[in-house]
Amino acid sequence: MEVELKLLLDARHAARLREHPLLARQASGAPLQLTMHDLYVDTVDLQLCRHQAGLRVRHVDGAWVQTLKAGGSVRGGLHSRHEWESAVAGPQPELDGLDAMIGARQPVRALLRRKAIRNQLHTVFSTRIERTAWQLATPQGDLVECVLDQGVIESGGQSVPVSEIELELKAGQPAALFEIALALLRDVPLHIGQASKAERGYRLAAGLAIEAVKARPLSLNGKLSVQQGFQAIAANCLEQISANQDGVAGGEDMESLHQMRVGLRRLRSALSLFKPLLALPDELRADLDWLAGTLGAARDWDVLSHDTLAPCEGEVAADLLAPLAEAAQEEARTAHAQAAEALADTRYTQLMLTLQRWLLACGWREGITPRQRRALEQPLPRFAKQALRRRQRRLRQRGKLLSKGTPDERHAIRIAAKKARYAAEFFASLFSAGKVRAYVKPLLGLQDVLGGLNDLQVADGLLHKLAHGQPALQEPSSFVRGYLAARAHERLGDAHGMQRAWRRFKAARLPG
């Protein structure tokens, strides 16, 4: 399994990286200079890409080497993938040589044995890279290869530049990669590299769009400790956050922003769930709040534009609705641009690197009590049952205000329901799938009822903000706010529907 951290840098800052004192201090010798020409091959319909595999043939130092990568995961620039490599005679891949190296249980082995794939392989895109490589040894004994790659990805007469750093773990602990990256970041502006060269090449060659990514299902072993369970859950949340990074960085994709925000909410919920046993450093918590606020602002404008105002067509006169919709969409575009700027800020890089170092190095163990230490070493299933009961008690307590509570109190009920659902989903693999579904379904129903009310409450504030200082929008804003207030009143008047959702939740049994 190859483990490497990818970071992007402006080509103008390459000289600053080469002269960084850390490289001079930890390098075992002079850097190696390499000129590489890579040919990435696939079928006409991109079967390897569709199965999350990449096959290349590299020409370097007068020799040819083929490399196959498949499976694994990416979170916050940390790429973990299966890798197989062997020498070949020329620019054509030799699949029999790879077949002998791949484990029998690897899905990619069966894929490469298909005649339809073997007979269709051709070059889809290529790269030309000038590489500088340093072999580093940390004071703790970790061995890391640091490479600076600069060049281009080419396909069909088009090209995109490459300027990136890869920190590959050769021996030691993955946390060492983040220590090195953070030291470099103090002097060189760096950004998280989510996409590999292969992904970028496929986007160039085939015009593949960046797609929003939902959370992958968690599979937790019942033999895990509480600490190991937290690490797996947090890593899953970080994977969802970082998987949507490039979509948000593009400045327009609503679903990528939504899924990145969901990943961030899940992470914060996980931190809250395990808070009795571990605490996030204040600086990291402040940076998570900053990112959540930036993404949340953009999401609010998206919901107003597409979920609240759009359904008003036919109910509200076009001359009143159209200027509001146009103004809301402009605010949404501005908020998305601000979210993209946040991801381009080195504060985001610092956050993701520091958070992952804290996670991999179990940074919470510093300063904890012996009792907390023992609790972290206990089996995860017992903690999961207790955590689900705590979440349920919190929701039932807050739910007493469901009918007569203020908007803020109903919002607190909705948040409690969401946290209870996240907890059930985190620990789902520890319990019966049917029991988990039966518990989560009424939580989703309760969230939907309360979420609709919350959207109308948020919309009222945003419409008031739109009209402020814009006389032309004051009359349309007042009318639509009144219309939405009437809709909210109708929903509140539907006590039967709200109480039905609450009764369904109360009747649901905890999966554990």
Backbone angles phi, psi at 52, to 5 degrees: 55, 45
Percent of the chain with pLDDT over 90: 89
Q: Which residues of the chain have pLDDT under 70?
A: 494-496
Backbone angles phi, psi at 9, to 5 degrees: -145, 150
Give the SS3 label for residue 68.
strand
pLDDT tens column, 450-466: 999 999 999 999 999 99
pLDDT of residue 124: 97
Query: 176: phi > 0 → left, psi -120 to 50 → alpha, else beta; which?
Result: alpha
Task: Please give the Cα distance from 89 to 480 (Å, whole number).
Answer: 71
pLDDT of residue 512: 80
pLDDT of residue 492: 77
pLDDT of residue 76: 87
Report the predicted TM-score, pTM, of the whole model to 2 decimal places.
Answer: 0.94
Long-range contacts of 206-213 (CB under 8 A, 24+ apart): 206/46, 206/49, 206/124, 208/49, 210/246, 210/247, 210/250, 210/253, 210/256, 211/247, 211/256, 212/244, 212/247, 212/253, 212/255, 212/256, 212/258, 212/259, 213/240, 213/243, 213/244, 213/256, 213/259
Task: Please give the Cα distance from 225 to 376 (Å, whole number).
Answer: 7
pLDDT of residue 383: 97
pLDDT of residue 495: 63
pLDDT of residue 41: 98
- CA nearest neighbour of 405 among 440, 453, 442: 453
- CA nearest neighbour of 360 among 259, 273, 238, 187: 238
Q: For the chain, what is the radius of gyration of the CA atoms?
A: 26
- CA nearest neighbour of 264 among 297, 289, 232: 289
Cβ-based neighbour number of residue 404 at 10 Å: 9
Determine contact, residues 9/163, Cβ cutoff 8 Å: yes
